Amino acid sequence: MTLVRRTVGPAVALALVMSAGACSDEPSVEAFCDAVEQVVAAGPLFPDRTDGEPVADLDALAALRDMTDAAPGEIETHTSVLLAEAEGLAAEAAQRVDATQGSASSVTPTTEPPTTPRPQRAQVESAQAEVTAFVADECDIDLSA
């Protein structure tokens, strides 16, 4: 048996490397699913209350940010809507806690005030439905429970 060695020209090799690099720029579904698992593990965004006001969990908010960063293109817009809503809610809650406790608040604000307005309720509901369906199909994780 004779082995035939094929050589690839420099232009073809460069094209292969560039196409492989282009694929790696897009977040993978696997990485997104791992980030979704971290969101689930982090628990609810508002697990605690201070003086009757909800206080956002920084780990849960960070997990949502990581999930949005890991979102593939087809779901990225929807995860961004959910993140904007979560950040807006967290900022509003922190402002209410600060207002009820006065300027000598011992509660550290959970996030900066949002730079963009919170999404409309219909956008949030649509994004929740899209993300829930994508996660169920691609990650085999049920977020509807």
User: Is 0.85 surpassed by the pTM of this model?
Assistant: no
Q: What is the pLDDT, as a whole number, of residue 48?
A: 78
Q: What is the pLDDT, as a whole number, of residue 14?
A: 36
Look at residue 72 and give its three-state secondary structure: coil
CB 103 within 8 A of CB 73: no
What's the chain's average pLDDT? 79
Q: Lowest-confidence range among 5-19, 41-55, 122-136?
A: 5-19
> Which tens digit of pLDDT belongs to each residue from 93-129?
888 877 777 644 444 444 455 556 899 999 999 999 9
pLDDT average, residue stretch 54-83: 95
pLDDT average, residue stretch 14-23: 40
> Which tens digit of pLDDT belongs to each residue from 54-66?
888 999 999 999 9
Q: What pLDDT band is residue 87 in, cutting at 50, 70 and 90?
A: very high
Its sign, for the CA torsion 129, 131, 135, 141, is negative
Q: How many whole angstroms separate alpha carbon 61 and alpha carbon 69?
A: 12
Look at the block and give the residue holding tokens 């979102």.
71
**Is pLDDT at 15 greater than 90 in this prediction?**
no
Domain coordinates of the chain in residue numbers? Answer: 27-139
- Mutual angle of helices 121-139 and 73-101, in 10-degree steps: 130
